[in-house]
Amino acid sequence: MLIGEVARRSGVSARMLRHYESLGLVAPTGRTVGGYREYAEADIQRIFHVESLRTLGLSLRQIGQVLDDPGFAPSALIGELISDTERRLARERELLKRLRAVDASEPSGWEAVLRIVALLRGLSSPSPARRLHAVLAPESAMPGPVLAEAALNESDPLVAGALRWALGRAGDDVVANLAPGLESDSVEVRLRAVQMLAEIPGDDTAGLLSDALADPDPRVRGSAALASGARGRHEAVPVLVAMIVAGANDVEAAEVLGALASHRELADPITSALVDELARPAANHAVRMRLVQALAELPSVLALRLLHGLAADPDRTVARTAAALARMVEDRA
């Protein structure tokens, strides 16, 4: 088969086929009487192999090594290609982020573009002092989405506080700018998103905080539960009870449950949830003690009824604690 027909069948230009030949990658098996290149079926198959490997990002040199060495192990090379691709994607994502930030700032000229790029470079500095300077610089006027992303990824408390201050002054929809943080793969970013949303008054954040109650990380769930419960949201109750059982911010969780139980429609569900956990055969001594202490945070009538009932508990430490807490609640009442 002559080179023109090969090019038509393979989709590889005749010029590229000659380049492959010059590299020793694909050489025609023979020549015609007139001296034209003539490719055999095996040559065409090798061309398809070359093109297939090129789609994986292999260089022509690497392709030659793969095809000419039957014992060549692909695992190391594929792993290297994966790493190279991940680095390239990271660079592309960073470029896309910068372009969107510049576009969101609606620059009036190239000087404005250069200014926002300089501010973005400052925010990405490994130095907290430089990041803080970028946030507080007089010429700093970054759009809300940029400030929100920086705040969600900031680990230094001082810089994070400055970013939250700047985000509040930006005038954009702060809740909408923070919402993407709840979908992050990073637990720390999701936790910061919940904590910042919890600081925003009003009902705009209620739905987002409720969604975060299903987060796979217990810290994120707990932070969302404390914030939602403090706003009177009943869906936080199961997570708050689970926090007491697990001993994770159990004091704060008990206080929030106590406040929620002051709502008549929530008193019975909360009481039942705590009593059910107390009665579980798997509940060890430490868990039962935390639950007893949580009962003392309930409204006085509920707390006294439950604590007096526990004064006869077979676990004498639990019984004595319940009696002592009952006296405390009586004094408080």
Q: Of 72, 99, 115, which residue is a domain's last?
A: 72
Q: Of 32, 57, 72, which residue is a domain's last?
A: 72
Count of Cβ atoms closer than 10 Å to residue 262 Cβ? 13
Enclosing domain of residue 56: 3-72
Per-residue pLDDT of the chain (333 residues; tens, 9 = 90+): 888 888 988 899 999 999 998 888 988 888 887 788 889 999 999 999 999 988 888 889 888 888 888 777 787 788 888 988 999 898 888 788 778 777 877 777 887 788 788 888 888 899 999 999 988 886 666 788 888 999 999 999 999 999 998 888 876 689 999 999 999 999 999 999 999 999 998 888 999 999 999 999 999 999 999 999 999 999 999 999 999 999 999 999 999 999 999 999 999 999 999 999 999 988 899 999 999 999 999 999 999 999 999 988 999 999 999 999 999 999 887
Report the half-sphere exposure of 110 (CA within 13 A, side-chain side): 0
Chain Cα centroid distance, residue 312 = 48
Task: Quote the pLDDT of residue 323.
Answer: 94
307 lies in some domain: yes
Total tally of structural domains belonging to the chain:
2
34 lies in some domain: yes
As a whole number of angstroms, the distance between CA 328 and CA 333 comes to: 9
33 lies in some domain: yes
Which residue shows structure tokens 């009932």?
309
Q: Of 53, 72, 91, which residue is a domain's last?
A: 72
Residue type, 257: L
CATH number at residue 59: 1.10.1660.10
Say whether 315 sits in a helix, a strand or coil.
coil
314 lies in some domain: yes
Say whether 2 sits in a helix, a strand or coil.
strand
